[in-house]
């Protein structure tokens, strides 16, 4: 501001000097020239002052705060990948490219690796942690009570964090988004698509707490509808094929909930279920596309974007994470895989959308 005043003072001095020169001259041409020169000097001073203001504004903009966000993703598969990408894209859109440095790490399906990853984030002092999938959230919650933690692709926070009184807001340093689609509607899809299937097997990884929760809810709904339900669990990817074979041998159809281990092993599951002619209804699109016939699914990219918008509010101080309720995807869609349904002779009723794989 001092420089701006200086430039204006110089301009005014120039005006006065040129005016005096004009008064001392008896020549009309000289007076005119002096007046013109004075105007040019004033304009130059004003331009210089304006330039100084612009430079000051540019310097101020360049001094904006930057952040570091640690991302712990349990395993690589379509749904979780989409959630992470949506999260990053939304933050970059709202805050600008380069404002946030993302340290994205994948635990390759191992819960112990999640712990190692988030402990590293805590040591680095990141500004926020994204925990993508339940084991990542559990590891982050155990690692820090201070750094804000946002979960995404978490089915049920009360179950994931062993909260007896969960009412929609976790509190403390944790919030996020849920990928839970209405489980009663998922159970109803068996009657809609597979009315002759009366023996239903539920298949999931026993290490995933949210899969246990989904299984219990869907099992009760199916049994209330008169079906016989048997639960089959595998401990990790090593016994997926053998457990799937047993389930296919004993049932008319299978249900696989939103389960990260199953989602990363859909090829192994399909290699058993397809030759056996056993249809699978899934809890989300990633499992369905790999081995299922239908799913009531959400858009994981949009879920990630919602989580990213929450992160922006936390990083900028616009919201307090301790009071932020868990957010849910509002418009799940019934999808079906056309070629598998045709192969199995399944008649798809109105209200279902054909799945189209992304190229």
Residues 283 and 215 placed together within one structural domain of the fold = yes
The Cα–Cα gap between 129 and 124 comes to: 11
Same domain, 228 and 316: no
Residue 49 within a domain: yes
**Residue 39 pLDDT > 50:** no
Count of domains forming the chain? 3
Per-residue pLDDT averaged across 188-214, rounded? 96
135-176: pLDDT as tens digits: 999 999 999 999 999 999 999 999 999 999 999 999 999 999
Name which of 104, 95, 97 is nearest 69 in CA terms. Answer: 104
pLDDT of residue 236: 87
List all residues 6 or more positions away from 324 whose beta carbon is below 8 Å from its beta carbon.
169, 175, 310, 313, 314
Please indicate, yes or no, if residue 359 is contained in any of the structural domains: no
CATH code for the domain of 206? 3.40.50.2300
What was the pLDDT predicted at 134?
Answer: 95
Mean per-residue pLDDT of the chain: 86
pLDDT digits (tens, 9 = 90+) for 283-328: 999 999 999 999 999 999 999 999 999 999 999 999 999 999 999 9
pLDDT class of 40 with cuts at 50, 70, 90: very low
Instruction: Choose among 164, 182, 128: nearest CA to 324.
Output: 128
- Establish if 55 belongs to a structural domain: yes
Do 22 and 55 reside in the same domain of the chain?
Answer: yes
Full residue range of the structural domain in which residue 10 is found: 2-62
Statement to judge: residues 245 and 338 lie in one domain: yes
**Residue 11 maps to a domain:** yes
Q: For residues 200 and 236, state if they share a domain.
A: yes
Do 241 and 291 reside in the same domain of the chain?
Answer: yes
Of 16, 35, 62, the domain-final residue: 62
Q: Is the pLDDT of residue 49 over 60?
A: no
CA distances from 346 to 217, 285, 335, 338, 340 (A): 25, 18, 13, 9, 8
User: 323 in a domain, yes or no?
Assistant: yes
d(CA 247, CA 202): 8
| Confidence (pLDDT) at 186 | 97
Is residue 92 situated within a structural domain? yes
**Do 190 and 166 share a domain, yes or no?**
no
**Average of pLDDT values for 217-230?**
98
Residue 355: the pLDDT is 96
Same domain, 286 and 308: no
Check whether 119 has a pLDDT greater than 80.
yes
Tens of pLDDT along 86-117?
999 999 999 999 999 999 999 999 999 999 99
Which is nearest to 75 in space by CA: 43, 107, 28, 31?
107
Task: List CB contacts of 260: < 8 A, sequence separation 6 or more.
Answer: 74, 75, 77, 80, 109, 133, 134, 135, 153, 205, 208
Residues 172 and 305 in one domain: yes
In terms of domains, do 74 and 168 share one?
yes
Phi–psi pair at 18, nearest 5 degrees:
-70, -35
Q: Are 196 and 262 found together in one domain?
A: yes
Do both 159 and 195 map to the same domain?
Answer: no
pLDDT band with cut points at 50, 70 and 90 for residue 56: very low
């Amino acid at each position: 501001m001092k420089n701006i005043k200086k430039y204006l003072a110089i301009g005014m001095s120039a005006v006065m000097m040129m005016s005096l020169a004009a008064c001392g001259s008896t020549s009309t041409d000289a007076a005119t020239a002096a007046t013109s020169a004075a105007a040019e000097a004033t304009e130059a001073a004003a331009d210089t002052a304006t330039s100084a203001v612009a430079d000051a504004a540019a310097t101020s903009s360049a001094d904006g705060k930057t952040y570091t966000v640690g991302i712990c993703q349990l395993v690589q598969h379509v749904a979780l990948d989409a959630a992470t990408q949506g999260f990053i894209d939304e933050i970059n859109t709202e805050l600008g490219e380069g404002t946030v440095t993302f340290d994205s790490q994948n635990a390759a399906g191992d819960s112990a690796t999640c712990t190692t990853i988030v402990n590293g984030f805590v040591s680095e002092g990141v500004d926020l942690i994204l925990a993508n999938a339940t084991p990542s959230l559990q590891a982050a919650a155990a690692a820090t009570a201070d750094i804000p933690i946002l979960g995404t692709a978490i089915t049920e926070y009360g179950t994931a964090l062993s909260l007896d009184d969960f009412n929609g807001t976790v509190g403390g340093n944790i919030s996020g988004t849920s990928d839970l689609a209405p489980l009663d509607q998922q159970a109803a899809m068996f009657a809609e698509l597979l009315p002759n299937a009366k023996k239903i097997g539920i298949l999931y990884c026993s290490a995933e707490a949210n899969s246990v929760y989904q299984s219990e809810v869907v099992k009760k709904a199916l049994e209330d509808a008169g079906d016989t339900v048997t639960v089959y669990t595998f401990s990790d990817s090593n016994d997926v094929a053998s457990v799937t074979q047993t389930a296919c041998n004993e049932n008319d159809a299978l249900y696989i909930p939103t389960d990260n281990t199953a989602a990363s092993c859909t090829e192994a599951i399909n290699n058993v279920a397809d030759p056996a002619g056993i249809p699978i209804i899934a809890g989300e699109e990633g499992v369905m596309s790999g081995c299922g016939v239908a799913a009531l699914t959400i858009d994981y990219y949009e879920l990630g974007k919602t989580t990213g918008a929450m992160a922006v509010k936390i990083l900028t101080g616009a919201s307090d994470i301790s009071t932020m309720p868990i957010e849910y995807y509002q418009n799940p869609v019934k999808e079906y895989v056309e070629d598998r349904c045709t192969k199995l002779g399944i008649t798809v009723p109105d209200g279902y959308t054909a799945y189209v794989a992304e190229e």
